[in-house]
Structure 1
Amino acid sequence: MNERRTTLADVAKAAGVHVTTVSLALRNHPRLPPETRERLQDLARKMGYTPDPLLRALVAYRGRTMERRAPSTLAYVTNWDSAVGWKKVTAHPNFYEGAKAKAEELGYKLEHFWMREPGLTHGRLSGILAARGINGVIIASHQREADDSIHFEWQRFSAVKIDYFPHKPELHNVTNDQCSIIRLAMQRVIAAGYRRIGFVMHRGWNYSVDHLWSAGFLCEQANLPVRDRIPMLLFPDAEPIEDWMNESKTDVIVPADRFQEWYERYQPEVIIAKASFVLPRLQEMKVRIPRDVAFVDVFLDSFDGKFAGVRQNYETVGALAVEILAGQLHHNKFGVPTIPTTTFVEGTWFDGASCPIPARR
């Protein structure tokens, strides 16, 4: 015979408080003093109370289906050179669209705030959000050379960061998994029989993701015989960081002389890169794809079968940021987390004519 499940009412009776007080304590609601929350949470654990998953599912279902008169607002905070500059950069518009769609699905309104509005300081924006009752914040589209730390009254907010910048404070983070994306591309072409695999990447893009592109490439390249290992082409050369960081903001093309020298010296069977980086140079050199060299795009945005590559699933990054933030708000978790977590979003491989499988011999 199954034992009777401990309920909120049982805990409330044992503590001598109303059941609503217990519910608030278990949701870590700031309305209750910390010592009251801790006392009731400890009592619930000792009594063996656990939430009913079926009841939680019902509450979640009702929350999705019942119309809300005034949806809560989530702040989508950007720190770019202009209010809309981030919309012209790879990935960032997709982050926003994914976040906006998921926010609407969960019953929230997503509102954009630009940190560089004239006269706006970190403290002032923090106060504006708090005054409007906005306690859910997504830190997104933050330029690398902008402030490395954001100074909000974090105890007022639940927050999630998209991508790697700013570094401080250390918030829960959602980003694309560039290491697994390049590894996936490498694994597919190696399995198809390619051995001399070339990788071309802008140094700024590699730097901006904490060198995960190069780390993933080198990890998989180690599985090839030494004679087949081609040095990756990182461009531009390691000159002052400001020069190539600024250059990486635009959709640049690999330098012609360096690329041709690298290509002719190492004779790759397949090149992995961003299409706009290298295809114009290959066309200038009259190198035919895939007849002369196969090609894989790790920033794939066309799915008509012409190019093989990896879709980075940017919208999923934005959607997951909202899901994680909504979970924090539901459990009233505010402030900078003691142990921040990073959620990596993997890519999806697509076959394409640019990289025949199996490799032509």
Structure 2
Amino acid sequence: MDASDTSDMQRRVTMADIAKRAGVHATTVSLALRNHPRLPEKTRARIQNLAREMGYAPDPWIRALVDYRSKIKPRAFRPGIAYVTNWATRWGWKEVTAHPDFHQGACDRAAELGFNIEHFWLREPGLTHGRLSQMLYTRGIQGVIIASHGREMGDALQLDWANFSAVKIDYFPHKPAVHNVTNNQCDIVRLAMQRVMAAGYRRIGMVMHRGWDHSVDHLWTAGYLCEQQALPEDVHVPAHLFPESHPIERWLTESRGDVTADREALREWIERYRPEVILSKASFVLPVLKQLGLRVPEDIAFVDLFWQSDGGATAGVRQNHKTVGALAVELLAGQMQHNKRGIPEIPTTTYVEGTWFPGKSLPVRKSEGLVATIPMRRRSD
């Protein structure tokens, strides 16, 4: 083998090579490799198969240069991304945990990538799924983020998905089955359990609004039960979900941020199972513990699964909501760049981990103690 043969073997296959073999212009090859809908599907498939046979691979350095130039050169316009919500009111999702941060994270990352986030509310009077689909297509909006859908608002979003790239934030609606980004509630509660056990606690209880567990496909209880297996059975404390499972209407539509646990039900659960520490949401249980005469951490320790900065008073796990929104935009931008439209054959879920913060509400145990004892009260209290 002479030097010229070796040179030919090492030379990269280019789009011009593919175009020559396929009998088309290099621009056609470029469109086909980007899966551009301007070309017939049969033509795209033929050229893509030929590129694979010839061993073609894009040059990442050239792609990086193109991306760099696109950032320093002002765009004539900023392409839009639809941020679709379905709440009882247009801005109701801004009043609950996580959803405002999802939106902020998406807006921040979209601006960095040169996109513009546009909000669309599905319950706008007269707005059907078909009309929204046509509206987005007419306006040239090719990317859709499905976000902030209430649990009670139905289970399917029926757009003409062949025209759009899509990513979903969180779990609702369940259909269509597109790529999804969400907090990792299962590992968040597992992380909390591990830190609590490392601090010397054994009787660990979780108190959760039933609707919150339902809205994440029961991953809160899944993580809790999974990690509980590391403890002896005689110290297992069953997770307590409020309200009771029936009637469903009582909890399915309950989305208020100021909801609290039922006082008498929480009292009975504590008296029966005597947890040393409670995992929950601060606003959901701390006011009720105070009503019951229980001090944190003197009588019972506490870990916030929805942690927000409070100067070190409370231990807990922060859910990184803004990162969820930012990653949704990044995944969507990648699909749009490669002209990937429609419902994916194999949808994926990207989980965002939580961040642990120690706090005074979970002191390290040096000896046995901290068993909740509720003062006797009259039923009229």
Please report the TM-score for the alignment, with normalisation by the length of structure 2.
0.92
1:126 aligns with 2:126: no
Is the alpha carbon distance of 1:248 and 1:359 closer, same or farther for their aligned partners in structure 2, counting shifts above 3 Å? farther
Is the alpha carbon distance of 1:237 and 1:43 closer, same or farther for their aligned partners in structure 2, counting shifts above 3 Å? same
1:255 aligns with 2:300: no
1:181 aligns with 2:188: yes
1:282 positional shift: 1.4
Say which of 154, 158, 163 aligns to 2:161: 154
In the other structure, the counterpart of 2:62 is 55
1:360 positional shift: 5.4
Q: CA-to-partner distance for each residue in 1:22-80, whole Å, 9 max, x for gaps?
A: 11111100011111111111111111111111112222222333221201000001111
Match runs of 1:172-251 below 5 Å? 172-251=179-258
In the other structure, the counterpart of 1:64 is 71
1:248 positional shift: 4.3
**Cα RMSD (Å):** 1.4
Q: CA-to-partner distance for each residue in 1:174-231, whole Å, 9 max, x for gaps?
A: 1111111101100111122211101100111111111111111000001100111111
Please report the TM-score for the alignment, with normalisation by the length of structure 1.
0.97
Distance 1:125 1:89 in 2: 25
1:36 aligns with 2:46: no
Distance 1:19 1:13 in 2: 8
Q: CA-to-partner distance for each residue in 1:265-299, whole Å, 9 max, x for gaps?
A: 22211111000111001111221211221110000
* Sequence identity (%): 63
1:286 aligns with 2:293: yes
3-state SS of 2:253 partner: helix
What amino acid maps onto 1:352 in structure 2? G
1:145 aligns with 2:148: no
3-state SS of 1:247 partner: coil
Distance 1:199 1:37 in 2: 53
Distance 1:87 1:360 in 2: 44
Say which of 302, 305, 324 aligns to 2:331: 324
Distance 1:317 1:303 in 2: 22
3-state SS of 2:85 partner: strand
Count of aligned pairs between the two proteins: 361
What amino acid maps onto 1:309 in structure 2? G
Task: Give the number of the structure whose alpha-carbon radius of gyration is greater.
Answer: 2
Distance 2:82 2:146 in 1: 8
1:312 aligns with 2:326: no
1:241 positional shift: 0.8
CA contact (8 A) 1:64 1:105 kept: no
Say which of 2, 14, 17 aligns to 2:21: 14
Distance 1:63 1:101 in 2: 18
In the other structure, the counterpart of 1:341 is 348
Distance 1:75 1:194 in 2: 47
CA contact (8 A) 1:202 1:248 kept: no
1:5 aligns with 2:12: yes
Structure 2 runs not aligned, ≥5 long? 1-5, 369-381
3-state SS of 1:237 partner: coil
Distance 2:268 2:154 in 1: 39
In the other structure, the counterpart of 1:350 is 357
What amino acid maps onto 2:224 in structure 1? F
CA contact (8 A) 2:209 2:242 kept: yes
3-state SS of 1:148 partner: coil
3-state SS of 2:201 partner: coil
CA contact (8 A) 2:165 2:340 kept: yes
1:119 positional shift: 0.9
